């Protein structure tokens, strides 16, 4: 049940963000659907990872206080693939294909 709620809430957030952009810029739904998908996917990927430059910068103040495995970290980024990331990635792929079909005349 928790996974289903996660999938539905991620999909609703994508749709709401897309409708908000469409209302702000007075465009059709497909104008910003691919861009919304990419931005939300990158946002989820950024906040689902740990061990990057941002984590190191935030932890720098406290690393000298503790002797642990984290202090000896060599800066590798660990990415956790989760359900919202997969949903947003599938949304991005589907909207990319639909946008390509809708705007096929503009590409060729």
Q: Are the C-beta atoms of 105 and 28 separated by less than 8 Å?
A: no
Q: Which domain holds residue 5?
A: 1-70+79-107
Residue by residue, pLDDT tens for the chain (108 residues) are: 889 999 999 999 999 999 999 999 999 888 899 999 999 999 998 888 776 656 666 666 666 666 555 555 555 667 778 999 999 999 999 999 998 998 888 877
CB atoms within 10 A of CB 80: 10
The total of structural domains in the chain comes to 1
How many Cα atoms sit within 13 Å of 91 on the Cβ side? 28
* Predicted structure pTM score: 0.77
Token pair of 38 as six digits: 């990419």
């Amino acid at each position: 049940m928790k996974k289903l709620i996660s999938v539905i809430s991620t999909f609703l957030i994508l749709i709401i963000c897309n409708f908000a952009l469409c209302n702000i810029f007075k465009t059709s739904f497909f104008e910003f659907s691919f861009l919304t998908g990419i931005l939300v996917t990158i946002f989820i990927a950024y906040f689902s990872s740990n061990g990057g430059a941002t984590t190191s910068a935030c932890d720098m103040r406290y690393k000298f206080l503790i002797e642990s495995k984290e202090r000896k970290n060599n800066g590798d980024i660990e990415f956790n693939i989760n359900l919202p990331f997969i949903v947003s990635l599938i949304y991005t792929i589907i909207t990319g294909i639909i946008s390509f079909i809708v705007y096929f005349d503009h590409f060729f």
